[in-house]
Each structure stands twice: as C-alpha cells, then as structure tokens.
C-alpha cells in the first residue's frame, strides 16, 4: 500500500469541503489495485501564527511514523510525495467512501443523561443557562490514543478527527503536532493523571529504541532538531512519571470547536 500511495498517479475527484486546509479525495493506481486516498498539498495550507509555513504535511507524515513505530496503528498509511498540486501528503482513505460515521466517543448531555462509565471533561451552559456536561468514553484504546496525543503534543485533537471503522477507529488530522512548546489541546482530558498501562509503557520504550535508529532519521527529514529534542523529552517524561499529563492551568487546554 505504501508503494502504491507513493508511486502511482493521482486522479483528483474533488475537494473535502469540511477540511480547514485544502484536502482532496483522489484515486490512486489503476485496475484492481485502484484505491481512494486523501491528498493535502502544501500549497493549500493556511498560514498559522504558531507553526512554520508549509510544515503541516511533514507533521502529518511524522505522526504516521510514530504510529507505526509504537505499534499502535492509529494513523492510516501516509506518504509525502509530489502530486498534481505539488508536494503534499497522500493518506489512505479509511472507512466507507460516503457517509463516514463519527464514533460516539464524545458527548454533550444534560447532567442526568451522561452515559454510565463516561468520563467528565467539563461543565458548560447552553444559551438558556442550563447546565450541560461534556464527557467521553473510557476504553483502553482511547486511553492509548490520549497517550499518543500527549507524545505528539497534539494541539488539535477534536472529536471529529476520529473515524469509525468496524469495531475500531482511526485518528486523522495531525498537522498541528510536534511543536517544541507545550500545546496539547484535546477533548480527552478525562484521562489526565491516570496511570499508563504496562503495554503502553512497553510501546513507548519500543519507540524510544526506534527514535535512536531508522525512525529518528526519518523524522529528521520533516521535523527540526529542536522539535525532535522536545519529542524525546516528552517521551522520557512519560516513561519516567508513568502517568498521563495533567490539565494545564496556564493556557487553554481544549481545541475549538470540540468537534
């Protein structure tokens, strides 16, 4: 699949209108191997005040590399390559081609309607000043995703960046990751301060070994030395403390919108 994504011609079908940056559904390959993908050209990235121009595609690829190196497999297969609109990421399309279902992991409910077992993130009020609760599911896989985001320093983990696929889910939209400053913004703060599972600690150690080898070389092609040093610092902090990060009190910790 990686070779197909990297080497085959791209046929643009149309724009994904809900994306904040230019994202196109394309068809890759021909015949029985023909498959859908998402193409995000660098020239379609909107300038941001806190991330270098033209760097989001490389961060998308870096997230895929970390996903593979840890063995967590959250990110669909991704390559960085030239295309009809210039260099950008091409990512395997996951789930159905039409009507993709968003997992019901994050909810807003009246206090009495919060599902049993959900973890409360925050209390809000609607336009009529009635209390509402934002909560999310509590599953081992979601806990691992929250750890993945902490490792990546994901500044934009919205609920809509998870895509259902059978009994599991995929995580997408990782262009705002790997900043050298602490910027973790996520809807999954319900896991703050929780102990990290032994299996996830083993995955972090596996990534530590990979970071000192081929994976580190690949990341160096798309991230700056300072960003890689910050990634290494976050990795060893998680391995040392063995707990999830706490909610920061010196900056806004949530993405907006939440979905």
**pLDDT tens readout for residues 39-53:** 999 999 999 999 999
Segments making up each domain of the chain, as ranges: 2-100+138-241, 106-136
What percent of the chain clears pLDDT 70, i.e. is strictly above it? Answer: 98
pLDDT score of 205 more than 90:
yes
pLDDT at 100: 64
**pLDDT per residue as tens digits for the range 88-106:** 999 999 987 876 666 789 9
User: pTM of the predicted model, to two decimals?
Assistant: 0.95
Contact 59, 178 (CB under 8 A): yes
pLDDT band at 33 (very low <50, low <70, confident <90, very high): confident
């Amino acid at each position: 699949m990686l070779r197909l994504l990297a080497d085959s011609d791209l046929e643009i079908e149309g724009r994904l209108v809900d994306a904040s940056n230019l994202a196109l559904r394309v068809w890759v390959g021909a015949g029985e191997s023909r498959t859908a993908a998402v193409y995000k050209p660098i020239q379609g990235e909107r300038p941001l005040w806190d991330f270098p121009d033209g760097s989001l595609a490389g961060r998308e690829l870096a997230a895929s590399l970390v996903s593979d190196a840890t063995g967590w497999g959250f990110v669909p297969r991704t390559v960085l390559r030239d295309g009809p609109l210039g260099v950008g990421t091409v990512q395997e399309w996951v789930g159905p081609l039409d009507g993709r279902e968003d997992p019901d992991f994050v909810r807003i409910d009246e206090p009495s309607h919060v599902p049993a077992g959900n973890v409360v993130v925050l209390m809000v009020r609607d336009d009529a000043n009635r209390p509402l609760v934002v909560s999310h599911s509590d599953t081992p896989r979601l806990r691992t995703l929250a750890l993945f985001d902490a490792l990546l320093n994901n500044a934009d983990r919205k609920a809509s960046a998870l895509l259902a696929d059978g009994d599991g889910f995929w995580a997408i939209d990782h262009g705002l990751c790997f900043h050298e400053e602490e910027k973790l913004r996520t809807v999954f703060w319900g896991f703050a301060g929780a102990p990290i599972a032994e299996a996830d600690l083993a995955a972090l150690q596996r990534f530590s070994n990979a970071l000192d080898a081929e994976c580190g070389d690949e990341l160096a092609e798309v991230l700056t030395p300072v960003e890689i040093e910050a990634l290494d610092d976050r990795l060893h902090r998680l391995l040392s403390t063995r707990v999830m990060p706490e909610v920061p009190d010196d900056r806004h910790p949530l993405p907006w919108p939440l979905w």
